[in-house]
Amino acid sequence: ISICRDLPNIEVITFSVNGISDLEPLNHCQNLSELYLRKNNITSLNELFYLKNLPRLRVLWLSENPCCGSDPHRYRMTVLRNLPSLQKLDNQAVTEEELSQALVDGEEITAPPARRNVENGCLESTESSAAEPTTETESELLNFSLEETNKIREELGMKPVPRDKFSSFSPRETDCNRKKRNNVLNAILLLMKELDAEGLEIVQQTVGRRLQAFRKKELQEE
């Protein structure tokens, strides 16, 4: 997710089901208001350190990560103590009572986590190797990725992607390659929000040329 360092104005990020373990790049997204990180490899709540200085963050979905642990109350209280501006956590509204209780039951995070020796993506951190693996069927992964992608497209005023088109991300590919392709697609859609009319026209022309080349290649193969 290092691309986030170059997106200071991004407002909504959806990176669920992507093997992410390090949130440091998000520290640069000062306009971020919604962050979806369900089912990743975030092993330590200390990663919240990188979100504490995001003034506009109001929605966070962090559930089903190893950092949530076995005590849901402690987990929620710790998140709310460090991110008291949240209005919704894990698709559940935050109450004033919870924010007050978080000052008592939550743990204050004052330092970032120890650095890891692996990259984000298909490789897993050494810390997460001891965590319970999450089972995700191919159908579930595609459904969730499609939902996330269409949310981004809705933000951009674009039509949703039909399932038959989205699932054409070949099932013969490994999970790693499919996730990488989905990440690239989402990154492109997110970056489009940063472009003006002239930039979008350049993208449109480039896409048109690429599609013509693909169609020509398909005809030759037939």
Burial 131-160 (b: 16+ CB within 10 A, else e): eeeeeeeeeebbebbbebbbbbbebeeeee
Percent of the chain with pLDDT over 70: 67
Q: Is residue 134 domain-resident?
A: no
* Number of separate domains in the chain: 1
- Average pLDDT over the chain reads 76
* Higher pLDDT among residues 74 and 166, named by residue: 74
Position 63 confidence tier, pLDDT thresholds 50, 70, 90: very high
pLDDT at 182: 67
Confirm whether 199 is domain-assigned: no
pLDDT-based confidence at residue 107 (cuts at 50, 70, 90): very high
Using alpha carbons, select from 19, 8, 48 the residue that is nearest to residue 141: 19
pLDDT of 125: 38
Distance, CA of 34 to chain centre: 10
Note the pLDDT tens digit of each residue in 75-87: 999 999 999 999 9
Report d(CA 130, CA 148) in Å as an integer. 28
- Whether residue 122 lies inside any domain: the answer is no
**Nearest C-alpha neighbor of 141 from the set 58, 38, 31:** 38
pLDDT tens, position by position, 182-208: 666 776 776 776 777 887 888 888 887
More confident residue, 202 or 53: 53
In-domain check, residue 173: no
- The answer to whether residue 117 is domain-embedded is no
Q: What is the pLDDT of residue 140?
A: 52
Q: Tell me the residue range of the domain where 101 lies.
A: 2-105
Residue 46, domain CATH: 3.80.10.10
Query: Would the pLDDT of 33 be above 80?
Result: yes
Instruction: List alpha helices for 122-196, DSSP H.
Output: 138-155, 163-166, 175-192
13 in any annotated domain: yes
pTM (2 d.p.): 0.56
CB 139 within 8 Å of CB 77: no
**Residue 123 maps to a domain:** no
As given in the structure block, the two tokens for residue 152 are 């981004």
Q: Is residue 130 part of a domain?
A: no
